[in-house]
Every structure is written in C-alpha cells, then in structure tokens.
Amino acid sequence: KINGPRLWDALMAMAEIGATPKGGVKRLTLTEVDKAGRQRFTQWCEELGLTMRVDAMGNMFARREGRDPQRLPVLLGSHLDSQPTGGKFDGALGVIAGLEVMRSLHDLNITTEAPIELVNWTDEEGSRFGHSLMGSGVWAGIFGLEEAYGFTDLDGVNVSQALDSIGYKGPHPAAPFPADAYFELHIEQGPILEQEGKPIGIVTGAQAQVWYDAVITGQDAHAGTTPPSARRDALVAAARVIALVDEMMRARGEAGRGTVGQLQVLPNSRNVVPGEVRFSVEFRHPDDAELARLMAEFPQAAEAAVAGSGCRLEVTKLFDMPAQPFDPACVDLVRQAAARLGYPAREITSGAAHDAVYVARRVPTAMIFTPCKDGLSHNEAESILPEEAEAGCQVLFEAVVARANR
C-alpha cells in the first residue's frame, strides 16, 4: 500500500543533508545542518496539508486530522539528528517512513477515525549535550525544561542557546499531551534480524542503562623532567578506568555493555604529562537488577582503579533508565500487521535507547525494527536495503491505521 520507491527517494534526499565523504551523515542536533533537515521535513509535511507545531524543546508534531474530533491522536515518528559520524537510517527511517505513511493516507484518500501526528524528536542521540532522548525526555517529564536548557556541549553552548540559534524554541509547551498510542520504526542497529533472516522485529522493550561523566585530575608536568615518582598522570589513571569498564562489561558475558565513548585530554600536548582527563562512561543490561549491580560497583571500583596514581577521580551520574517494556496491545498490533503482510518476524529487545522508551511512560507504545547490514550502526557505513525499509514502513502503516481506526 505504501510507495517503496518514494520512501527510498525521501530517505536519500534527507541523507544529503549533512552527507559525509564516507557515505554517512553528520547532522548533529540543533546545528545549522539539523535546521536544514527540519526545514525540508516541514516543507514535505506542509505539501501534504499537515499542520506543524513546534514545542519549547524543538520537538516537531505534524498533524493530520481524523474523522472523530473526540479521539486522541495516534503518534508516530523518531528523530532526524545523527551521531557525528552516523549513518543515513538511524532515526531518519522512522521519521521518513512516518512521512510516507502520511503520503499514502493522502494518496489513498483515507481519513482515519483518530488524528495522526508525525513527530521529529529533538536530540535523540545525546552525543552533543550528554543526554540521549532529550526532547522526548522533557516531553515525558523525565527532565525539567529548565534543566535540559542548561545542558551544555563541549564548547559551552547550552540547549537553550542552541534552540534559539536555529530558531526552533517553539511556542507549544514541551509536556505530555493526551495521546492514544505511539509507534516508532527504527533500524535494529544490531545483528540479530539479519542473522536470522527476519525482515521485521517486534520490539517488546528496551534494556536498562546508565550514563556517567568522569573527571580525573592530576597535575600538568614536563614529560622530560618529571620522574615516575613525582607524576600524577591523569591519562594513565584514565586508562585504568577504561580497562575496568571493559572488564565489568565482559564479566556479564554477551549481554553486558560498558563503553567509554568520549574522552578529552588536557592540555593535550605531546611533552606534557596530562593534568586532566574528562570522559564518558555508560553501562547497559537487559536486567534491571544487573544494571543496579553495575551502578553499585562502578564508582567504588573506579576509585580503587585510580588509587595510588596520585590523581583525584570524580564520577557524576548523568541519568539512568530502567528496562522499559512496551504496551502489549500496541506490540500486538505490530505482530498482527507483520503476520497479515506475511513478513517473517521475531520478538526482540532493543539494545539502544529510543524516544519510544520515554514516550512509553506516558502513552501506550510499540516499536518495529528492520535489519541493518552486519548489525552496524553509529557508523558511516550503516546500510539497509530498499525492500527492508519498505517492509518496515508497511508494518508501521498497518499498525498505525489499525490503532487509529479501532
């Protein structure tokens, strides 16, 4: 029912905005490139006669009216921001497939019972301001608006300034409004569907995770004159914590996740013993109890790891989120849609967080996964096939329309 080639064309058109030489995308949240993506999205929505609202976090809602003015809207969407060296599909697939759902409804002259709203959430990736799912998090009341406005990037620019600079601090409150359901299509970003040859993942929930900031303070000193006994080398101390995070992950077997993804050395000069290192730490696990153990263990184990280095360690928890199960009725609509369309499908837990995780605390929610090549994501080589995008979009269409017409 949906138009596969049109969907693919729109995906490729969006991928031009922030395209990188290696075939990926750099569309960091609240930058000029993000603004360009938002403007193209707005134009496409307005061509369909949808009404665009922007809230105080820059979240964008494109509304298509239903027949029954009493009915709550069915939401669908994802995010248009990317990693610094991201792929074409992480996030964009969910938004552009949502657009294709709207276009198909338009082509087919379908008026659903409930209104439908297509959402582009602000800053899902979290790579710029240190909080993933930021826009959906404020919308769902996980962070306060003023708190989120104060999050800063590595250059000291805060979210409020960044929203103003691209003109996307909208007039609508960034707060949950009543909605009937939320559906999000996303690439799996892992290898399971591809390995099992299943075009559709019926996502039953997402795993738990915690993010930290760590700062190790030693002392800048001359690399040539400072003897081993007098060194307080913050990078040598940080190396022990990096090894610890990896060990703590591996101690949990294949289900464990532990990553230091961002790290900054000061003063970062070849012949200076580093006086300060700032870095991120995150852990994830499908089981809340295991994440709780990781959280109990990490600060103390990190303290023990740097002991004797002469350096001081400061660990700040940025946030943690428990494992989030999705709404059984919504999940069932996905399962039924895949079955009706004859797509092989399997239930799956998400290793990544998604806006759906926070939205699920307010609105009955489900997600659909499609495979990606070699399970690779957060990588410019991220790749999917047109028929995989089409299958995912078709399931999304069916689930959304079924819910809106129930």
Ligand X SMILES: NC(=O)NCCC(=O)O
**Cβ distance to a copy of itself smaller for residue 62 or 249:** 249
The residue behind tokens 């976090």 is 57
Element (H, E) at 382: none
Q: Is 194 near ligand X (CB under 6 A)?
A: no
Residues 301, 304, 309, CA angle at the centre, nearest 5°?
140
**Cβ distance to ligand X smaller for residue 66 or 130:** 130
**Least distance (Å) between residue 316 CB and a copy of itself:** 13
Of 106, 76, 95, nearest to 7 by C-alpha is: 95
Among ligand X, a copy of itself, none, partner that 124 touches (CB below 5 to 8 angstroms by kind): ligand X
Length of the chain: 406
Among ligand X, a copy of itself, none, partner that 188 touches (CB below 5 to 8 angstroms by kind): a copy of itself
**Cβ distance to ligand X smaller for residue 203 or 353:** 353
Q: Is 352 near ligand X (CB under 6 A)?
A: yes
Asked if residue 267 has a cis previous peptide bond (ω within 30° of 0), the answer is yes
Of 130, 153, 124, nearest to 261 by C-alpha is: 130
Q: How far is it, in rounded angstroms, from Cα 7 to Cα 99?
A: 8
Q: Is 271 near ligand X (CB under 6 A)?
A: yes
**Cβ distance to a copy of itself smaller for residue 82 or 112:** 82
**Least distance (Å) between residue 133 CB and ligand X:** 7
**Least distance (Å) between residue 248 CB and ligand X:** 18
Q: Is 370 near ligand X (CB under 6 A)?
A: no
Q: Is 355 near ligand X (CB under 6 A)?
A: no
Q: Is 353 near ligand X (CB under 6 A)?
A: yes
66-125: contacts with ligand X (CB under 6 A): 90, 124-125
Q: Are strands 365-370 and 181-187 parallel, antiparallel or unpaired?
A: parallel
Q: Is 285 near ligand X (CB under 6 A)?
A: no
Q: Is 403 near ligand X (CB under 6 A)?
A: no
The full 3-state SS of 132-167, as one line of letters, equals: CCHHHHHHCCCCCHHHHHCCECCCCCEHHHHHHHHC
Q: Render 282-329 in DSSP notation, one character per residue.
A: EEEESSHHHHHHHHHHHHHHHHHHHTTTT-EEEEEEEEEE--EEPPHH
* Residue among 21, 69, 156, 224 that touches ligand X (CB under 6 A): 224
Among a copy of itself, ligand X, none, partner that 376 touches (CB below 5 to 8 angstroms by kind): a copy of itself
Alpha carbon 335 to its chain centroid, in Å, reads: 23
Q: How far is it, in rounded angstroms, from Cα 137 to Cα 302?
A: 29
Residues that bind ligand X (CB under 6 A): 90, 124-126, 132, 189, 222, 224, 271, 352-354
